[in-house]
Amino acid sequence: MIEWPKDMIQLKGLAQATTVELLACLVRSGTRNRCPLEIAEDLLEIYPSLIELEAAGVGGLEKAPGVGKAKALQIMAGLELGRRLVTEPKWVRPVVRSPDDAAELLMEEMRLYQQEHFICLYLNTKNEVISKKTLFIGGLNTSIVHPRDIFREAIRCSAASFIAVHNHPSGDPTPSREDIEVSERMVEAGRLIGISCIDHLVIGHGQFISMKQRGFM
């Protein structure tokens, strides 16, 4: 008797799993006489469709043999996640084709920060933003901003390139010597790793500077 269908699902893949097997994963544990798969089969005999299963609610499901309140909540939580996935608005990835595009994404957020924030926008091969990560907060210098931390996230999200952005709380976006050195290190590391640093923006109050356009990288 199979007591836990997760091994079957791992072999077949979620898309190939039956409704009974998926429901058994939500049931999770069996009783002395019934394994999760059998409890799931019983539930689908009582409620033949997922619509009927959801309509039963916790109150209806918990009365089914071998279910109880905890399992009923687990099942309803899984169904609710599926419902939200269907109704959730589709997220459109921003596309960054210029320094202005990148600045527009972050200018309002960063211009009022009282401390320096170093943020990276990670892009795919279509220049779509696939990840945005705040990596450092505080004074920007080469001892704090280490390429290891920048490229760890780039590798994690399979980025093709990235844009670094940091703010100057003073409001003046003029790059410092440290800003230029950080840019040079990112470009050099990107060449070695194969993930390009395509720009480094400095955000001030209502204005920004592109290190690429200024010839610093």
Average pLDDT of the residues in 130-141: 84
| Local structure of residue 95 (DSSP, 8 states) | B
Cα angle 188, 191, 194; round to 5: 145
Considering the domain architecture, whether residues 17 and 76 belong to the same structural domain is answered as yes
Give domain status of residue 1, yes or no. Answer: no
Give domain status of residue 148, yes or no. Answer: yes
Of 200 and 25, the one with more pLDDT: 200
Per-residue pLDDT band at 15 (split at 50, 70, 90): confident
| 33, 63, 87 - which closes a domain | 87
Considering the domain architecture, whether residues 63 and 137 belong to the same structural domain is answered as no
- Dihedral (C-alpha) 198, 204, 209, 210: value to the nearest 10 degrees? 0
Considering the domain architecture, whether residues 145 and 106 belong to the same structural domain is answered as yes
| 87, 108, 128 - which closes a domain | 87
The pTM of the full predicted model, rounded to 2 decimals, is 0.62
- Model confidence pLDDT, tens digit, residues 64-120: 999 999 999 999 999 999 888 877 766 689 999 999 999 999 998 887 788 999 999
Residue 1 has pLDDT above 50, yes or no: no
| Local structure of residue 5 (DSSP, 8 states) | T
Domain residues for the domain of 158 are: 99-210
- Model confidence pLDDT, tens digit, residues 136-186: 988 655 446 788 999 999 999 999 999 999 999 999 999 999 999 999 999
Considering the domain architecture, whether residues 113 and 162 belong to the same structural domain is answered as yes
Considering the domain architecture, whether residues 108 and 199 belong to the same structural domain is answered as yes
Question: What does the alpha-carbon distance between residue 150 and residue 145 come to, in Å, rounded to a whole number?
Answer: 8
We report the CATH number of the domain holding residue 55 as 1.10.150.20
Tokens linked to 177 = 């010597």
Considering the domain architecture, whether residues 166 and 79 belong to the same structural domain is answered as no
Considering the domain architecture, whether residues 203 and 141 belong to the same structural domain is answered as yes
Give domain status of residue 21, yes or no. Answer: yes
We report the CATH number of the domain holding residue 167 as 3.40.140.10
